Structure 1
């Protein structure tokens, strides 16, 4: 008896092939990487999420925490010019490390909240809209467009999700796409 055919893998990652406008492509790929981040940590124990991976020096949960801050800095403080804390007290050390008393769920919830806020800001704007003045950007000539900010976020995710592939392989041998 022949083996049943398995579903073929998707030809393209990211948004569907019907998406061709730059706004939809950027948002679609950004969401694809956000989901890839969560797929790559799925199945890890709390200890595996929180333990720094050597020789990298950061934990998967620390990477998620960092990306939440990246979303916050570029979309809320940058694009929307919200008056908020853009960097945690303690700098990079605090941004990448998760203290033992900080629950895993609170890190994930904070990350998801930043993503939802970013999505809302991007959904109601066009790629040529410039960042508002007053947050990260003090002068109009320094304010990038939404398109440039989204492209920056996309490259941040692509780089960090690739690094997470390496971390996951070091943790338990799992490899991804």
Structure 2
């Protein structure tokens, strides 16, 4: 009797194994982390998404909201020098806390909007292109390259997606990949 073929796990996460272009790798891994963030929310009720996890003090949905602000600050205000609100008026507390009158769907939609705008800013430019002046960066010696900004975003996502693994394990015992 013939055995069914074994499922072989992917050897690498992120972009395909044959991708070697640095720009494509950075954007591919950033997208992988964005998708991982959403995967780690799967199966949580609205209440669990919104309730702060003890002893961490923040909710899974609050983390999504925070990462939307991070995308906004680094890519729209930072790289693109757009004239936008870069921080919520209530500071960190507001950035991480979901207002009672804000739906889960709205938080996710706002995050996805920031990601879409970020993608439109990063896809057509070179990694060596410097951030525009006037937003986050006021002088040429302050302006990092897109590559530097993307590396920063990758480490931000890696930390926070790892934090979400811990939160999820505390909530319901689920562990990440």
Match of 1:132 in 2: 132
Match of 1:119 in 2: 119
- Structure 2: which 5+ runs fail to align? none
- Quote the offset at 1:3 in angstroms: 5.6
Cα distance change on mapping 1:8 and 1:78 into 2, 3 Å: same
Match of 1:89 in 2: 89
Match of 2:63 in 1: 63
Match of 1:30 in 2: 30
Match of 1:147 in 2: 147
TM-score, length basis structure 1: 0.98
In 1, Cα distance between equivalents of 2:63 and 2:106: 14
Match of 1:174 in 2: 174
TM-score, length basis structure 2: 0.98
Give the root-mean-square deviation of aligned CA atoms: 1.0
Stretches of 4+ moved more than 2 A in 1? 1-6
Q: How do residues 156-171 of structure 1 correspond to structure 2 at under 5 angstroms?
A: 156-171=156-171
In 2, Cα distance between equivalents of 1:116 and 1:3: 44
How many aligned positions are there? 177
In 2, Cα distance between equivalents of 1:48 and 1:8: 33
In 2, Cα distance between equivalents of 1:7 and 1:23: 31
